[in-house]
Homo-oligomer: A and B are copies of this chain.
Amino acid sequence: MVTLKQLAKELNVSISTVSKALNNSEEIGVETVKRVKELAALYNYKPNKVALSLKQNKTKTIGVIIPDVLNHFLAKVLFGIEREATEQGYNIITCISNESLEKEISSLQLLANGSVDGFILAVAKETQVKNETAHFVKTISQGLPIVMFDRVANDVLCDKVIVDDFEATYHATKKLIVENRRHIAFISNIDDLSVGKLREKGFLKAINEESKVKGSVLKINRLDDGQQKISEFLKGNRSIDGIISADNSSGIIAINTALSFGLKVPKDLSVIGYTSKSMSNHCIPRLTTIRQHAKDIGACAAQLLIKRLQNKSLNDVDYSTKIIKTSLIHGGSTLS
Contacts and interface: CB of A to CB of B under 8 A. Distances in A.
B278 A257 contact: no
A260 B285 CA distance: 10
B59 A70 contact: no
B59 A82 contact: no
A122 interface: no
Given A69-B75, A78-B94, A256-B284, 15 more contacts: A47-B113, A48-B113, A48-B114, A49-B114, A49-B115, A50-B115, A51-B54, A54-B54, A75-B75, A82-B94, A83-B96, A91-B95, A253-B281, A256-B282, A256-B283
Contact of A259 (B49, B252, B259): B259
Interface string A235-278: 00000000000000100110011011000000000000000001
A42 interface: no
B93 A91 contact: yes
Nearest 10 interchain pairs by C-beta:
A282-B282, A46-B113, A94-B94, A48-B114, A50-B53, A69-B75, A49-B113, A49-B114, A49-B115, A50-B114
Nearest to A286: B227
Interface of A: 1, 46-51, 53-54, 59, 61, 64, 69-70, 72, 75-76, 78-79, 82-83, 86, 91-96, 109-115, 142-143, 226-227, 249, 252-253, 256-257, 259-260, 278-279, 281-284, 286
14 contacts: A1-B114, A46-B109, A47-B113, A48-B54, A50-B54, A51-B114, A70-B278, A75-B75, A91-B93, A92-B93, A92-B94, A94-B94, A257-B284, A279-B282
A28 B92 CA distance: 39
A76 B95 CA distance: 13
A9 B284 CA distance: 71
Contacts of A282: 249, 252-253, 256, 279, 282-283
Contacts of A284: 227, 256-257, 260
A91 to B, nearest CB: 5
Nearest to A45: B113
Contacts of A286: 227
Contacts of A72: 70, 72
A21 B220 CA distance: 53
B259 A278 contact: no
A29 to B, nearest CB: 27
Contact of A96 (B46, B82, B110): B82
A47 B260 CA distance: 61
A259 B86 CA distance: 45
A91 B110 CA distance: 9
Nearest to A283: B256
A243 to B, nearest CB: 16
A59 B252 CA distance: 45
Contacts of A226: 281
A253 to B, nearest CB: 6
A82 B95 contact: yes
A201 to B, nearest CB: 26
A226 B279 CA distance: 11
B70 A1 contact: no
